[in-house]
């Protein structure tokens, strides 16, 4: 019972009994703990790989050339083995510097890097791509060459870790390194009660909207081009591909398969981050391409020289539109007669 000075808490109730068999799985909320359940992540990826092969495969463009990755078992930088999967990281650099000693990620790497390595080891994945470590920073020619293929790097990764919590690598992955507050639901008979403010999906959307990640230019390209995105915020996980859209507190079996136009995280009736872009192939058109460019130019860059480089990766995705789009020094050009 609350006293006069105590805050009110709104509770939502979900019932397990319903006559609609199709609706029943969606009228439930999963408890989430302080740390991530890696089996949930495995289930999402497996669902995509087994059921969305046609829509969620990488683009049929040239392969990434000479890709350097981090071996999460040895922490060494090495060339990606042939046919091996890798995971990419999308994050905000901040002001921290990356230090690589003799081709090895040092033991005192920032918390975000350490958490990513640990997370992939828990998942059973070995290779991780992080721009600050895997792109030479002291070789301007090689750096520029690698930057020009960043679009391919993100589009061909198995999935992309989106670190939307914190403002720099000094902040780890919530639920991997720093613990999160558990969801706090409980059951009474057929009813499941949980605080409305603890509904993870709404808090995750607010986290994304307010994040530094959602304002940066490079992260726009990275989100746009990734085929699968695993988003970390302080309040939970969100996973999206072209056929699946789900939150950590949603049921796993069967997974939430939302209609793209209604439940896509970036096109949800204005309820979601307006500067964000997780596109779907069904939405690709000349109008959509123009919208992406407008959104892109509103983003922030630390280096002015990176603006055109990142834009080239975005424009590359629109070359396969029904009406192809090319560019001249970053200026989009519609090419109706190109086949």
What pLDDT does 137 receive?
A: 78
What are the angstrom distances between the C-alpha of 211 and each of 73, 159, 161, 303, 314?
A: 31, 20, 15, 20, 22
What pLDDT does 81 receive?
A: 93
* CA–CA gap between residue 142 and residue 148 (Å, rounded): 10
In this structure, what are the phi and psi dihedrals at residue 314, rounded to the nearest 5 degrees?
Answer: -70, -45
What pLDDT does 153 receive?
A: 92
Find the range with the poorest average confidence among 17-21, 153-157, 232-236.
17-21
Alpha helix segments (H runs only) across 20-95? 38-51, 53-56
CB crowding 220-230: b at 16 or more within 10 Å, else e:
bbbbbbbbbbb
SS (H, E, C) 97-112: CCCCECCECCCCCCHH
Which of residues 100 and 40 earns the better pLDDT score? Answer: 40
* CA–CA gap between residue 289 and residue 292 (Å, rounded): 5
pTM of the model: 0.77
- Express each pLDDT in 212-230 by its tens digit: 888 787 788 888 888 899 9
- Express each pLDDT in 21-69 by its tens digit: 444 444 455 666 778 889 999 988 998 888 887 778 755 455 777 899 9
**Two structure tokens written together for 209:** 């909207």
**Two structure tokens written together for 18:** 């319903």
- Express each pLDDT in 117-126 by its tens digit: 999 999 999 9
Distance of CA 57 to the CA centre of its chain: 16
What pLDDT does 88 receive?
A: 97
Q: Which residues partner with 247 through β-bridges?
A: 238
Residues 6+ apart with CB under 8 A from 332: 289, 290, 293, 315, 318, 325, 326
Strand, helix or coil for residue 197: helix
| Mean of pLDDT over the chain | 73
What are the angstrom distances between the C-alpha of 257 and each of 31, 245, 253, 261?
A: 20, 6, 11, 12
In this structure, what are the phi and psi dihedrals at residue 138, rounded to the nearest 5 degrees?
Answer: -105, 5
What pLDDT does 3 receive?
A: 39
- Express each pLDDT in 259-317 by its tens digit: 444 334 443 333 333 333 354 544 456 677 777 777 777 777 766 666 677 677 777 76
Alpha helix segments (H runs only) across 161-240? 200-210, 217-225
- Express each pLDDT in 183-215 by its tens digit: 666 566 666 565 555 555 667 777 888 888 887
Which of residues 44 and 248 earns the better pLDDT score? Answer: 44
**Two structure tokens written together for 293:** 């460019």
**Two structure tokens written together for 127:** 């290779």
What pLDDT does 113 receive?
A: 95
């Amino acid at each position: 019972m609350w006293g006069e000075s105590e805050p009110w808490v709104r509770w939502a109730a979900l019932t397990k009994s319903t006559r609609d068999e199709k609706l029943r799985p969606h009228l439930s909320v999963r408890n989430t703990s302080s740390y991530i359940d890696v089996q949930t992540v495995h289930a999402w990826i497996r669902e995509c790989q087994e059921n969305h092969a046609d829509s969620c495969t990488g683009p049929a463009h040239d392969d990434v050339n000479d890709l350097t990755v981090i071996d999460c078992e040895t922490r060494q930088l090495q060339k990606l083995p042939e046919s091996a999967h890798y995971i990419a990281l999308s994050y905000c650099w901040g002001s921290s510097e990356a230090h690589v000693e003799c081709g090895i990620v040092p033991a005192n790497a920032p918390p975000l890097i350490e958490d990513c390595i640990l997370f992939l080891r828990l998942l059973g994945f070995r290779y991780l791509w992080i721009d600050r470590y895997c792109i030479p920073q002291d070789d301007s020619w090689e750096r520029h060459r690698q930057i020009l293929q960043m679009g391919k790097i993100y589009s061909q990764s198995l999935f992309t870790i989106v670190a939307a919590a914190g403002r720099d690598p000094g902040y780890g992955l919530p639920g991997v390194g720093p613990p999160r507050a558990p969801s706090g639901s409980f059951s009474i008979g057929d009813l499941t009660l949980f605080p409305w403010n603890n509904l993870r999906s709404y808090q995750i959307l607010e986290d994304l909207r307010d994040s530094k990640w959602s304002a940066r230019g490079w992260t726009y390209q990275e989100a746009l081009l990734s085929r699968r995105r695993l988003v970390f915020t302080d309040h939970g996980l969100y996973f999206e591909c072209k056929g699946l859209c789900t939150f950590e507190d949603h049921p796993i079996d069967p997974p939430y398969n939302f209609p793209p136009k209604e439940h896509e995280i970036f096109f949800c009736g204005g309820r979601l981050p307006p500067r964000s872009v997780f596109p779907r192939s069904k939405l690709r058109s000349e109008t959509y391409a123009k919208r992406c460019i407008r959104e892109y130019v509103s983003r922030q860059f630390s280096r002015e020289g990176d603006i055109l480089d990142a834009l080239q990766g975005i424009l590359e995705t629109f070359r396969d539109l029904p009406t192809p789009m090319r560019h001249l020094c970053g200026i989009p050009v519609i090419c109706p007669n190109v086949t």
